[in-house]
Amino acid sequence: MEALGNLLFGFTIALTPYNLMVAASGVFLGIIIGVLPGLGGTSGVAILLPMTMVMPATSGIILLASIYWGALFGGAITSILFNIPGEPWSVATCFDGYPMAKQGRAGEALASAFVPGFFASLFGILLFTFFAPPLAELALKFGPPEYLAVLLLAFSTFAGLGGGPLEKTLVSMFAGFLLGTVGLDIVTGEPRLTFGTIDLLAGFSFVTVCIGLFGLGEIMVSAEESLQFRGVQATIRLREVWRVVRSLAEHLRTFVMGTLLGFWVGVMPGTGATPASFMSYGLAKQSSRHPHKFGTGVPEGVMATETAAHAAGIGALLPLVTLGIPGSPTAAVMLAGLFVWGLQPGPRLFVEQPDFVWGLIASMYIGNMIALLMCLLLVPFFTAILRIPYAILGPLIVLFSAIGAYAVKNMMLDIWLLLIFGVVGYVFKKLAYPVAPLVVALVLGDMTEEALRQSLIMSDGSFTIFLTRPIAAALIGVALFIFLLPMLRPLLPQAVGGSRAAPLSGR
Amino acid sequence: MKRAEVACVLAILIWTGLMLREAMRLNIGWEASGPGAGFFPFWLSTGLALSAAAVLVRALRSPPTERPFFPRGALPSLLKLAVPIAGMILAMQVVGFYLAGALYLGVSMRWLGRHRWPLVVGVSLLFPVAVYFVIERWFLVGLPRGYLDLRPPF
């Protein structure tokens, strides 16, 4: 019950007028980012990260997290009303949401996205509130070898569960690590891979790489498609909300399955709301009594997708706060935020920065409530944003990306890098290289190297330290197994057909 | 698609080669206190080269696909987006963020969106003013001023 006391303490922080305003503006911006196709939650958080440098750390994380919650809600609006996914995690929301809207049930479809999504978030936050402290306590006992093992586990989930071609995942991951080593060596102080330039001494800024790969890359991909917004107008009536709330009991199985699956996929490093939403839709369809109706406008389809996406968003922050390992690419950007605010990520946060951790947890409850209210009341306003012509919106997003990239280090080089990584992101996306491993490897590279070096110093350079410590050995064993999974897969006769079907590498 | 795949992986291999050469100038072996400065860059580049080689082998062995890398009309619309951005960054080096940003916004609106002149001028003027007050004054983030070191007149 200690958690309850801490949570109350957290609410005293999150409910201050300033933090409440920060949460509300974060959610508002997040919904707009969510509604706009071609501007994803990950890049939205990355673009706005530099703006939090002037805030206290707690307000900064509340802003970024609230943008994430808002984007999780907002994506569904565009999917349902325009049949264009506002976010990658709401692609599957189109499948049943748009048919419902065309049948004149747009309000019900929107309510079926928002209300179960909110309850899934709430359920996820409850799990978070009570699981995070014991997990952090366990992680506090970890030394560098155990920590390295956890990191290895994180990276092996990319390779093993990534779904895409293994060699492309590895290219992406190695490239991220390699970019991470550019700059001053943490131990010897020598400049590494700088090609003799001074500008590269500080290394590649994670924020720039992220905005380039996700933000600019996405805009380039969507520039090809020249989207047309012809959709359905809708407002949500209270009656429809009530009907969905009551139908939750009827669809309890879809709801619980989606939430638990989403939360678990969210906790797994690197895989966030997008794969969770696809997996949950597939699972709901398979286990339904009427699978053939999926895709024609059944509320369960919307519900399954949205519950999983929302729960995954919450779950992705669990390893971030307890271990310092991001559970999704968006969480990876928030991890970069921790460094910007001068905090040391990891389990010691619970001991040294309780106001930060518990303020964040309390703000999750508040942020999601604000998001639900805004969405239920303001759908017509948010769809009006889509009427802003692309020739104005696109350049504005590019300009704000440039501000975000420049603000971290005040260097023009970062704006050029933004364009370069934009092109890289575009090419990677078209050729099916997963981008998430690159950004996570880049942000975790230093920590991985540090953990390895410290372990080797502890053991005087002997690698046996990883085998003689039970927790480390067990975790490395699991990591190896997951890593080898794609190679074992062809050996399993029944899995040959559909093993590549689910795209797991997203945000 | 196949040619694009091969070209992309060759580009990655060339970049890896450059990184590898840069890493070799450092100590890639073991020092008294642990791995040398070049140890991780060297092995990471090697790993990257091997994975890229695997991509190359698979790409070369796969049958050619019908799907082109650029669908019809994709390349022009992509260039229309990317070229103004590159131009804007170049301009930013010289005249700073505000002027370059306003010009870029105006050019995109007029040339790509074919909007009316009053709207184009209005948005292009409003943008730098709004950014100045929100970003520089409120969030205290300085923006590029360029070689000419242009400052807002107020």
Please give the Cα distance from A122 to A128 (Å, whole number): 10
Which residue matches tokens 């300085």?
B142
Question: Are B131 and A403 a contacting pair at CB < 8 A?
Answer: yes
CB < 8 Å to A403, chain B: 97, 131, 135, 141, 143
User: Does the pLDDT of residue A358 top 90, yes or no?
Assistant: yes
Nearest beta carbon to residue B34 from set A165, A187, A423:
A187
Minimal-distance CA residue of chain A relative to B26 = A192
Q: Are residues B21 and B45 in the same domain?
A: yes
Q: Are residues B54 and B78 in the same domain?
A: no
User: Does the pLDDT of residue A452 top 90, yes or no?
Assistant: no
Minimal-distance CA residue of chain A relative to B55 = A167
For residue A205, count other CB atoms closer than 10 A to its CB. 23
Q: Are residues B84 and B106 in the same domain?
A: yes
Each residue of A17-33: pLDDT tens digit? Answer: 999 999 999 999 999 99
With CA atoms as reference, report the closest residue to B76 among B111, B106, B107: B111
Please give the Cα distance from A142 to A325 (Å, whole number): 14
Question: Are B69 and A430 a contacting pair at CB < 8 A?
Answer: yes
CA angle, A46 as apex, A387 and A385 as ends, to 5°? Answer: 10
Give the pLDDT band of residue B152 (cuts 50, 70, 90): low
Each residue of A60-76: pLDDT tens digit? Answer: 999 999 999 999 999 99
Please give the Cα distance from A447 to A325 (Å, whole number): 10
* C-alpha count within 13 angstroms, C-beta hemisphere, residue A287: 15
User: Does the pLDDT of residue A492 top 60, yes or no?
Assistant: no
Asked, for residue B148, whether it belongs to a domain, the answer is no
Answer with the one of B32, B61, B90 that is the final residue of a domain.
B61
Amino acid present at A224: E
Each residue of A142-154: pLDDT tens digit? Answer: 888 888 888 888 8
CB < 8 Å to B112, chain A: 391
Looking at residue A228, its pLDDT comes to: 64
The two three-digit tokens of residue A16, written as one number: 């201050």
Asked, for residue B145, whether it belongs to a domain, the answer is no
Which residue matches tokens 């709004």?
B130
Q: Are residues B78 and B130 in the same domain?
A: yes
Looking at residue A439, its pLDDT comes to: 85
Looking at residue A289, its pLDDT comes to: 86
Q: Strands A191-192, B34-35: parallel, antiparallel or unpaired by DSSP?
A: unpaired
Q: Are residues B55 and B13 in the same domain?
A: yes
Question: Are B5 and A407 a contacting pair at CB < 8 A?
Answer: no
Q: Which of residues 46-65 of B touch A (CB under 8 A)?
A: 47-48, 51-52, 54-55, 58
Q: Looking at the DSSP assignment, which residues form a beta bridge with residue A191?
A: A184
Each residue of A157-182: pLDDT tens digit? Answer: 777 666 568 889 899 999 999 998 88
A50 vs B: CB within 8 A? yes
CA angle, A137 as apex, A135 and A143 as ends, to 5°? Answer: 100
Residue A256 makes CB contacts below 8 A (sequence gap 6+) with none
Give the pLDDT band of residue A373 (cuts 50, 70, 90): very high
A456 vs B: CB within 8 A? yes
Which residue matches tokens 């959709």?
A231
B13 vs A: CB within 8 A? no
User: Does the pLDDT of residue A279 top 50, yes or no?
Assistant: yes
Provide the domain count of chain B.
Answer: 2
Q: Which residue has the higher pLDDT, A114 or A495?
A: A114
Segments forming the whole domain that contains residue B103: 74-138
Please give the Cα distance from A505 to A437 (Å, whole number): 8
Please give the Cα distance from A351 to A354 (Å, whole number): 6
Question: Are B41 and A223 a contacting pair at CB < 8 A?
Answer: no
Give the pLDDT band of residue A328 (cuts 50, 70, 90): confident
Each residue of A75-97: pLDDT tens digit? Answer: 999 999 988 888 889 999 999 99
Determine phi and psi for B116, rounding to 5 degrees.
-70, 150
Q: Are residues B51 and B89 in the same domain?
A: no
Query: Which pTM was predicted?
Result: 0.87
Please give the Cα distance from B52 to B10 (Å, whole number): 8
Instruction: Give the DSSP H/E element, type plus range, for residue A154.
Output: helix A144-161
Nearest beta carbon to residue A406 from set B73, B105, B144:
B144
What distance, in Å, lies between the first and last C-alpha atoms of chain A? Answer: 34
For residue B66, count other CB atoms closer than 10 A to its CB. 5
Give the pLDDT band of residue A495 (cuts 50, 70, 90): very low
With CA atoms as reference, report the closest residue to A355 among A65, A67, A11, A23: A11
Q: Are residues B134 and B110 in the same domain?
A: yes
With CA atoms as reference, report the closest residue to A401 among A204, A212, A219: A212
ipTM of the assembly? 0.91
Q: Looking at the DSSP assignment, which residues form a beta bridge with residue A192?
A: A183
Query: What percent of chain A is modeled with pLDDT above 70?
Result: 93
Q: Which of residues 146-165 of A touch B (CB under 8 A)?
A: 165
Asked, for residue B114, whether it belongs to a domain, the answer is yes
Looking at residue A59, its pLDDT comes to: 95
Please give the Cα distance from B39 to A264 (Å, whole number): 36
Q: Which residue has the higher pLDDT, B14 or A466?
A: B14
- Mean predicted lDDT score pLDDT of chain A: 86
**A255 touches A248 (CB < 8 A):** yes
Nearest beta carbon to residue A392 from set B38, B73, B123:
B123
Give the pLDDT band of residue A183 (cuts 50, 70, 90): confident
Residue A362 makes CB contacts below 8 A (sequence gap 6+) with A7, A10, A11, A13, A14, A15
Asked, for residue B150, whether it belongs to a domain, the answer is no
Amino acid present at B97: F
Helix, strand, or coil (residue A27): helix
Asked, for residue B147, whether it belongs to a domain, the answer is no
Q: Which of residues 89-128 of B touch A (CB under 8 A)?
A: 89, 92-93, 97, 101, 104-105, 108-109, 112-115, 123, 127
Question: Are A390 and B30 a contacting pair at CB < 8 A?
Answer: no
Give the pLDDT band of residue A465 (cuts 50, 70, 90): confident
Q: Are residues B81 and B56 in the same domain?
A: no
Q: Are residues B85 and B35 in the same domain?
A: no
CB < 8 Å to A177, chain B: 40, 44
Please give the Cα distance from B23 to B32 (Å, whole number): 19
Looking at residue A256, its pLDDT comes to: 93
SS3 for A388-400 is CCHHHHHHHHHHH
